[in-house]
């Protein structure tokens, strides 16, 4: 029982990490990486569709929640022929990206495809996302202004 719980927690952490990489990646980059993988037979459980979600905010990060506004999202659900079900959500109106994310999510859960997806899809995308974040951090740091206060010498 404990081993099963630990396996499920490990699987959830792996899926969470994969979804973070895929959500921050460009659709064209995901598609290019998926071309290097022999995609398994799969069916759409939920055709890709666009919709709205309510975005909530908090004043100061810990204040009372309030409705900030709506954001457009795309979602899809896919089932592999081996039974694994994957879900894909992404901001914006990119139905194809949501479907590719769902397919990757299902493949990550499959013992047959997990290693291939990690090596040929997630690892290259993770490197690209890290490089983009590093470049943006360097650009931001270059414009940083250090303010300091001068104390007047009056007594």
- Do the Cβ atoms of 128 and 29 come closer than 8 Å? yes
Starting at the edge strand that comes first in sequence, how are the strands of the sheet with 65-80 ordered? 42-58, 65-80, 85-91
Question: What's the rounded mean pLDDT across residues 56-70?
Answer: 89
Which residues, including other chains, have CB under 8 Å from residue 119's CB and lie 6 or more apart? Answer: none
What's the pLDDT score for residue 3? 65
In Å, the largest CA–CA distance within the chain is 81
Q: How far is CA 68 from CA 2, 31, 73, 120, in A?
A: 41, 33, 16, 38
What's the pLDDT score for residue 153? 66
What's the pLDDT score for residue 7? 67
Task: Assess whether pLDDT exceeds 80 at residue 146.
Answer: no
What's the pLDDT score for residue 104? 95
pLDDT digits (tens, 9 = 90+) for 2-41: 666 676 787 888 899 999 999 999 999 999 999 999 999 9
β-pairing, 42-58 vs 85-91, is unpaired
Which residues, including other chains, have CB under 8 Å from residue 48's CB and lie 6 or more apart? Answer: 74, 75, 76, 95, 96, 98, 99
Task: Assess whether pLDDT exceeds 60 at residue 132.
Answer: yes
pLDDT digits (tens, 9 = 90+) for 84-129: 999 999 999 999 999 999 999 999 999 899 999 999 999 999 999 9
pTM: 0.81
Interhelix angle 95-109/2-24, nearest 10 degrees: 150
d(CA 77, CA 46): 5
What's the pLDDT score for residue 147? 74
User: What element of type H or E holds 52?
Assistant: strand 42-58
What's the pLDDT score for residue 100? 95
């Amino acid at each position: 029982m404990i081993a099963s719980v630990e396996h499920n927690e490990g699987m959830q952490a792996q899926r969470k990490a994969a979804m973070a990489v895929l959500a921050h990646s460009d659709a064209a980059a995901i598609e290019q990486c998926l071309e290097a993988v022999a995609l398994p037979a799969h069916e759409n459980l939920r055709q890709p569709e666009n919709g709205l979600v309510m975005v909530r905010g908090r004043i100061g990060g810990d204040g009372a929640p309030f409705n900030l506004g709506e954001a457009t999202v795309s979602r899809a659900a896919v089932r592999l022929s081996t039974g694994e079900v994957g879900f894909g959500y992404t901001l914006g109106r990119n139905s194809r990206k949501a479907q590719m994310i769902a397919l990757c999510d299902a493949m990550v859960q499959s013992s047959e495809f997990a290693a291939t997806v990690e090596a040929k899809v997630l690892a290259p995308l993770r490197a690209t996302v890290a490089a983009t974040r590093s470049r943006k951090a360097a650009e931001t740091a270059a414009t940083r202004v250090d303010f300091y206060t001068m104390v007047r010498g009056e007594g």
